Chain A
Amino acid sequence: MKTRSTIRPTILILALMALATTQAAAQDVARVEVSPATLSLAVGEMATVSATAYDASGNVIEVPFIYFSRDGRGSLAIDRTTGEIEAFRGGEFEVLARVLGPTRISGTMTVTVAFPPLDRVEISRHGGRYYTGVTMRHKATVIDQADDARDEVAVTWSTSDENVASVDRFGVFTAHAPGQVTLSASAEGVVGEITYQVADNPVTAMAVEASQSRGRTGDVIHFTATASSAGGTVDDIPVTFGLMSDPDVIATADIPPAEVDEQGRFVAYRPGIYTVTASVPGRTAHSTVEILPRHVVEEVELVGHAPVSNVATSDLWVWEGVDGRDYAITGTHNGHGSTYWWDVTDPASPVLTDSLIVDARTTNDVKVSEDGELCVISREGASNRRNGIVIIDCTDPRNIEIISTYDDELTGGVHNLFIHDDHVYAVNNGIRFDVINIEDPANPHRVGRFELDTPGHAIHDIWIVDGIAYTSNWNDGVAVIDVGGGDRGGSPANPVEIARFRDIGGATHAAFPYRSPTGRFYIFMGDEIGAPAFDGQEDGRTPEFMSGYIHVVDFTDPENPEEVARYEIPEAGSHNMWIEDDRLYAAFYQGGLRVLDISGELKGNLYHQGREIAVYKSYDPDGFVANAPFTWGPQMHKGNLFFSEYFSGMWTVKLQPRRTLIP
C-alpha cells in the first residue's frame, strides 16, 4: 500500500492564501459593465459580449464571469464562459454577466433579435355566404417565416366595400348590403383575406323550442332554433342565444342564476322562470322554461368506524372475500409501512383481522384482484430505496401471507396501482406505468410499460375499466390507453394510447370514467393542488390548504373531448373519487366526503346546481390529528359507503331518505 506524505501546513496555508486572494479580488468588485450595452441580431446571427469588473475607484479587476439570460431561454444560446451569443428567436432579452464572487454583482446588456419577416395572416373563418345584418367576430393569427405565431403584432382589419360590410378593430364583422366583400386582416404589410358573398337576410320567421318545458336546477335543456324563409329552413345563418332570468330568489353578489351557451345548451343554478331568446337579424323567438329545485338531499347515517390513530391512512379497497364475507384493506401514509385488513361484513363493527409491516414509509395504494384472492400494496420510502410492490395472498384475510415482492426497475416508489385481468399496472417513479404479469403471483414479471412523450411528463394515478386504462398525468391531463379492451390493438404488453385531454388548469391527480345512462361517456378528472404546509405547523391543527376541483369532460367522441362541467367547492380541494349509479362519491380533503347527483347531462359548476346529495365530515377526537376531517378516498360497497380518512382510519356511512325537510 502506498503511503501519503505528511500534510504540510505550508501547502494548506498556500491554498488558503490563494483562496483568500481570489475572494479578495472578487470582493472588491463595485460594478460590472457589459459591452456592448445593446446588441441587435438577426435569427441565426452570432456575437460575443464581454464584461468588465471595476472596483470603487474605477480600476479594472480580473474576475471570472458567467453569462446567462433568463428571459432569453429558448431564444438565445449563450456560451456561459465566453459570452458568445447565438440568436434563435425574435425578441428583446436581457443578458447578465455574473461575477463569480461573493459580491453577487452582475452587469446586464440588452440583445434585440429581429423577428423573422411575417409569412401570413390566418383568419378564423373561411368566408362564403353571409347575410345582411349578421355580426360575427373574426380572429386573426399572425405567423412569421419561422412558423411561430406572433401575438404581439398588431392587426388592422378592413373590408373591401364599407357599403357591403364593415369591421371594427376587434374583427367584429357586420354585413349591410348584398354584394361581394373581402375581409382583410393586415399586419406589417402581410395580409390575410377571406371573401363573403353577402345576400339579403331571407329569414321571415324564427322559432325556438326547448327540449323540456320544466326542469330542475342542473338539468341541461337544449334549445333548438329554426330560422325560416319563404323557401324553407335557413340553416346557414348564425343564431344568437340570449337569456332573460327571473329566479325565485334574488340575492346580491350571487352567481348568475342560469346560463345558455352558443349551442343553445341551458342550465339553471337557481329555481325560477327563464326565457331563452334565439335571434337572427330582424327576427327573435323565445321560449320559456320553469326551473324547480332539485331536491336531492339525503341524510347520512354513520354506520361504523375502523379507527387508525397512530399513523395517517391512505387508500382503501373493499371487496367480497372468497368466503363470502366482506373485507377492507387500508394503506398508510408517511408512517411505518403498515397495512391493515378488516372484516366489514358488519360495517357497524369492523374487525381488524390482520396487518402487515413492510420496509416502507408509505403503502399508499392497496388493491385486490377481481377474484378476491390477491392483494397488492405499493411501497414508498423503503430504507434501501428499492420500493416496488408487494403481492399478498389474502384468500384468508385473517392470515394474510406475502407471496412475493417485485421491485425490478420499480425502485422509485409505486404511488398508485391497479389490478386488471391478472396484471398489476404500477405507477412507477412518477413518470410511467409498468405492467406486471401476476398469473403466477410467486413469479411476477414485467410484460409492458407505457410513458407519455411530452417534455417533463409525469403520472400520478391509473384506473382501468374493461381493458381501457385512464391515467392521470398532472399537467398532461388524462390519457386513455387501450390495454386490451379497446379497438386499437392494445394489450398489457403493448399499451396503445387512444386519446389524451388536458383540462383547464392541468393538475390532474385522479380520473374516473363513467358511462352515463344518457349515453354520454364522461371522465371525471380531479385536481390536486396544495399549499406548502398544513395550517400552522403545530400538532393538532386542522389542515386547511388543499384546493383544486373535479373537471367533467365529455369523452363521448374521443376525438373531440369537451370539458363541459366542473364540481368546485369553495373551501377545499378534490382527492379520490368513486362513481356508481349516477352518483359521484368524492373525497375533498378538509371538505369531507361529498355525494353528488350526476344524473342527466352535465354542464356548468355542479356545486351550485343543488346536486349535492350529502356532505359528511368525520370528526375523531382520538385521531392521529384530532377532529380534523381530511377525506382521502371513498368506495361504495353493497349499499354502504366506505371512505378513508387521513387522520382517523376508515369510516362507513349510509345514505338515508330525508326525515325532515332539508332545503
Chain B
Amino acid sequence: MRAPLALLAALACTATGGEAAAQSYWAYVAAESEDEVALLRYDAGGDLVVEKTITTGWLAAEIEAPHGLAIDPAGDYWYLTLGHGFPTGRLVKYETGSDTIVGVADLGMFPATIAVPPHGTLALAVNANFHGDHVPSTVTIVDLETMFPIADVVTCTMPHGSRFNADGSKHYSACMMDNQLVEIDGATLDVTRRLDLIANEPAPAPMDGHMAMPAPGGANCSPTWTTPHPDGNRVFVPCNRGDAILEVDLASWRVTRRIEAPGAPYNLDLTPDGTKLLATLKGSAKLGIWDVETGEPLHLIDSLIPVTHGVVVTPDGRYAIVTVEGIGGDPGTVEVIDIEAGARVASAQIGKQAGGIVLWKMEG
C-alpha cells in the first residue's frame, strides 16, 4: 500500500535512530524540450530506472514545454503545467499509475511551478511569463476536482517557485524580476504580504502595467524558488543572480540570514527533519548541500552534465533526486545523490531538458 508523502515525511523526521529499510522511490520528471514526462524508480542501492515515458502536448509538431509537476497528497493524481499554448499554458491532471488524463485547466502565460496544499483540493500555478514584458503576472488558483481556474491572483513580475508550507496555511512564491517574496493566505487565497529581498523590508505590489524596475545600486537577487522550513518559522529563497540563499524569518518578515551559494542557486529542498538545505546550482552544474544550523556547506556535488535544475529529497531524507537539463541535444539527466555521503549513486537519461520533478511514492 502506498503511503502519502506528507505522512511519510512526518514519520521519517520524527523517527530516531535505526537504519531505514531498503526502499523504492518513484518520481515523475518533466523533459521540457521533449514534451515528455518520465516515470523513474530508484531502488535504494540499485539503479535508477526509467519505468515509463509519457508523451504530452497537443501538437506533435510543436514543443509545448512540460515544466512544473505536483502530486496529489493521496498519491492518486499528478499535475503538470505546459508552458506553451496559444499562447497561454495549461494544467493537466493525470491519474498516477495509468498516467491517463483526467482533466485540463487553462492557465496564464508560461505557467511554471505548481503547488498543491496538504488537503489536495487546489493547485496554485505561477504564471512565470518568462519571456513577456516585465509587468506583473498572476498565480492561478485551480480547483482540482473540477479543474476549474477559480481565480488569477496578481502577484508580481515573473513569479516562480510555488510552494505551500507544511500545513497549507501559507503559500509562497518569488518574483524573479521584482526581487520579492510573496505570501498568499492558504484559506483566503489573497496576497497577505510581500518582502523586498534587496531592501529587506515589506514591499508594495508592483504597479500593474508598469515595467519592473531594476533594483537600486545594481543589487540583484532574481529569486527563483521558495522552500518553507518544516518548523513553520522561515522560508528559504535562492538568489539566482546573487549567489546566495536567503533565510526569511516569517515572524519579523525580514531576511535574517544569507547563505553563500556561488553558482546561481535555482531550486531548493530541505530534508524532512529540516537540518539540511539542498540547492541546484544552475550556473556551476552542481548540487549544494548546506547545514541549516550553521549555514556551512557540507557537499558540492558535480552533475554529469551542465544545467542542474530541480531537486527533491526523499521522505526518509536519504536521497536527493536532481534533474539536469543539458544543453542543446544533450539528453536530460536525473541523478540520485546520497545526501549523507554527498555522492551520486545512480543516474538515468531521459528526454531533453529535464526540469520539473515530483516524488510520487516510496515503497518498501
Q: Does A22 contact B (CB under 8 A)?
A: yes
Q: Does A106 contact B (CB under 8 A)?
A: yes
- The reply to whether B146 and A70 contact each other, CB–CB distance below 8 Å, is yes
Q: Does A657 contact B (CB under 8 A)?
A: no
A268 to B259, CA, bound (A): 77
Q: Does B306 contact A (CB under 8 A)?
A: yes
Closest residue to A335 on the B side, CB-wise? B329
- The reply to whether B166 and A430 contact each other, CB–CB distance below 8 Å, is no
| Interface 1/0 per residue, B50-83 and A, CB below 8 Å | 0001011111111100000000011000000000
Closest residue to A362 on the B side, CB-wise? B63
Closest residue to B326 on the A side, CB-wise? A383
What residues of A have a CB within 8 angstroms of the CB of B33 in the complex?
Answer: 334, 361-362, 381
A120 to B275, CA, bound (A): 71
Minimum CB–CB distance for B337 against chain A, Å: 22
Q: Does B262 contact A (CB under 8 A)?
A: no
Q: Does B203 contact A (CB under 8 A)?
A: no
Minimum CB–CB distance for A410 against chain B, Å: 8
A100 to B124, CA, bound (A): 13
What residues of B have a CB within 8 angstroms of the CB of A537 in the complex?
Answer: 53, 55
Minimum CB–CB distance for A381 against chain B, Å: 5
Closest residue to B351 on the A side, CB-wise? A334
- The reply to whether A81 and B120 contact each other, CB–CB distance below 8 Å, is no
- The reply to whether A528 and B59 contact each other, CB–CB distance below 8 Å, is yes
- The reply to whether A23 and B119 contact each other, CB–CB distance below 8 Å, is yes
| Interface 1/0 per residue, B347-364 and A, CB below 8 Å | 000001100000000000
Q: Does A57 contact B (CB under 8 A)?
A: no
| Interface 1/0 per residue, A62-105 and B, CB below 8 Å | 00101010100000000011000000000000001011111010
A337 to B33, CA, bound (A): 12
- The reply to whether A528 and B130 contact each other, CB–CB distance below 8 Å, is no
Summed over the interface, the residue pairs from A and B with CB atoms below 8 Å come to a total of 197
Q: Does A222 contact B (CB under 8 A)?
A: no
Q: Does B98 contact A (CB under 8 A)?
A: no
With known contacts A15-B232, A474-B86, A380–B130 Cβ distance under 8 A: no
Minimum CB–CB distance for B221 against chain A, Å: 18
Minimum CB–CB distance for B34 against chain A, Å: 7
What residues of A have a CB within 8 angstroms of the CB of B57 in the complex?
Answer: 532-533
With known contacts A4-B257, A12-B13, A429-B132, A575–B61 Cβ distance under 8 A: yes
With known contacts A68-B150, A357-B328, A361-B33, A412–B132 Cβ distance under 8 A: yes
A522 to B71, CA, bound (A): 50
What residues of A have a CB within 8 angstroms of the CB of B63 in the complex?
Answer: 334, 361-362, 380-381
Closest residue to A535 on the B side, CB-wise? B60
A101 to B143, CA, bound (A): 12
Closest residue to B74 on the A side, CB-wise? A102
**Interface size for chain B: under 10, 10 to 19, 20 to 34, or 35 or more residues?**
35 or more
Q: Does A431 contact B (CB under 8 A)?
A: yes
Q: Does B201 contact A (CB under 8 A)?
A: no
Q: Does A7 contact B (CB under 8 A)?
A: yes
Q: Does B189 contact A (CB under 8 A)?
A: yes
Q: Does A458 contact B (CB under 8 A)?
A: yes
Closest residue to B6 on the A side, CB-wise? A19
21 contacts between A and B (CB under 8 A): A19-B118, A22-B167, A66-B150, A80-B150, A100-B119, A100-B121, A101-B119, A333-B61, A334-B34, A334-B63, A361-B353, A362-B33, A381-B33, A381-B353, A383-B306, A383-B326, A387-B131, A428-B131, A429-B131, A431-B132, A456-B87
* Additional 17 contacts, C-beta under 8 A, given A336-B328, A383-B306, A428-B131: A4-B257, A12-B230, A12-B231, A68-B150, A68-B151, A80-B141, A96-B146, A100-B122, A100-B187, A102-B120, A104-B144, A333-B61, A430-B87, A528-B62, A530-B60, A546-B59, A546-B61
B residues contacting A by CB (< 8 A) are: 6, 10, 13-14, 33-34, 53, 55-63, 73-74, 84-88, 101, 110, 117-122, 130-133, 141, 143-146, 148, 150-151, 166-168, 186-190, 230-233, 247, 256-258, 273-275, 292-295, 306-307, 325-330, 352-353
A residues contacting B by CB (< 8 A) are: 1-4, 6-9, 11-13, 15-16, 18-19, 22-23, 26, 64, 66, 68, 70, 80-81, 96, 98-102, 104, 106, 311, 333-338, 357, 359-362, 380-381, 383, 385, 387, 409, 411-413, 428-431, 456-458, 474-475, 528-534, 537, 543, 545-546, 575, 589, 646
Q: Closest 7 A-B residue pairs measured CB to CB?
A: A412-B131, A336-B329, A530-B59, A458-B87, A19-B167, A336-B328, A533-B55
